[in-house]
Structures are given as C-alpha cells and as structure tokens.
C-alpha cells in the first residue's frame, strides 16, 4: 500500500472530523493542513493533527515572544548542550544555523533560546520531567552495563 492510498483510507475514517490535539475540539477535515511528501503523486500523504486556528494562535504567540525577548548575541551558547553558534552551524544546514525560541506550552511563557537539536529534544519528551529523568536513567543503565 502506498502512502497516497493510506491517506485516502484515513480521510474516509475522518469524514466526521478530526479532534485537534491542541484544543481538543472535533472539526471538519478542511480545518487541518494536509501535507504532501511524495513529489511523484498529486495525492496528499498526511493530515496534521493541529487545527488551523491553533496553528495561527501558536504563530502569534511565537511572534509576540520573539518581539519581547532579544535574540542572543554572538557570544551566546545553548544552555543545554553548551555549544555556540559556530558549533551548531558548522555543517551548513540552514535550519540549524540559528537559535530557536523555547517556550512553555502550558504557561505560554518564554524559557530561553536553544539550539534546534536541544529544542527538538525537549519537544520529543513533551517537556515532561519524568520522561527526561527516565531517559537519563536509561542512558546511565546502558553505560554501566558496557563499561
């Protein structure tokens, strides 16, 4: 089964609407962004699970926080990995060549500026301290086994 066919199946299941993962409201499928990852097909392959209204709200929040909190100077280092701008951009990847505004999704407040990798890492753990401590324990356990 190709991705386009899978999209058609998901779309049929979702005809009554999709529940947004941010606002928890069931909305028509037209309120969600449809992504196309296969350039060889006209068919979309994924429906994003955050509604357009929540996406707009999030974009406004980030714009407002960026306006209120100055972008770091040249001497700045990521507070998590401690790398500076030269180190994080050494491979020339556009998305990795600058600082990312990190914010708390619950309080909608600014936390700081991070490198892309560290910001993505926190997001992957959904900012849950328990998940992060489990990850630390997991890595420590592996390291102890293989000394």
CB 115, CB 72: distance < 8 Å: no
The whole-chain average pLDDT of the chain stands at 87
For residues 37 and 25, the model is more confident at: 25
Q: Residue with structure tokens 């992957």?
A: 124
In DSSP notation, the chain reads: --HHHHHHHHHHHTTT-EE-TTT--EE-GGGEEEE---TT-SS--EEEEEEHHHHHHHHHHHHHHHHHSPPP-TT-B-TTT--BHHHHTTT--GGGSS-EEEE-TTT--EEEEE-HHHHHHHHHTTT-HHHHHHHHHHHHHHHHHT-
Question: Is a pLDDT exceeding 90 seen at residue 129?
Answer: yes
What percentage of the chain reaches a pLDDT higher than 90? 62
The predicted-structure confidence for 30-78, as pLDDT tens digits, reads as follows 999 888 776 676 676 788 899 999 999 999 999 999 999 999 999 999 9
CA–CA gap between residue 38 and residue 60 (Å, rounded): 30
Total tally of structural domains belonging to the chain:
2
59 and 74 housed in the same domain: no
Range of the domain at 49: 1-68
Q: Tell me, what's the pLDDT at 130? A: 97
To 5 degrees, how large is the angle CA 9–CA 15–CA 17?
120
Least confident range from 15-19, 20-24, 77-81, 94-98: namely 94-98
pLDDT in tens, 93-112: 776 789 999 999 889 999 99
Clarify whether residues 123 and 80 are in a common domain.
Answer: yes
Residues 133 and 102 in one domain: yes
Calculate mean pLDDT across residues 135-143.
95
**CATH number reported for the structural domain that contains residue 117 in this entry:** 3.40.1800.10
Is the pTM higher than 0.85? The answer reads no
């Amino acid at each position: 089964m190709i991705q386009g066919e899978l999209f058609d199946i998901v779309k049929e299941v979702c005809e009554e609407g999709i529940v947004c993962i941010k606002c928890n409201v069931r909305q028509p499928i037209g309120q969600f962004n449809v992504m196309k990852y296969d350039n060889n097909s006209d068919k979309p392959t994924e429906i994003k699970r955050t509604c357009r209204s929540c996406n707009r709200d999030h974009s406004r929040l980030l714009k407002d926080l960026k306006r209120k909190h100055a972008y770091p100077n040249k001497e700045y280092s990521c507070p998590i990995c401690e790398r500076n701008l030269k180190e994080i951009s050494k491979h020339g990847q556009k998305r990795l060549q600058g600082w990312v505004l990190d914010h708390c999704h619950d309080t909608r407040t600014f936390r700081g500026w991070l490198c892309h990798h560290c910001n993505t890492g926190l997001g992957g753990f959904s900012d849950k301290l328990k998940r992060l401590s489990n990850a630390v324990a997991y890595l420590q356990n592996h390291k102890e086994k293989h000394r």
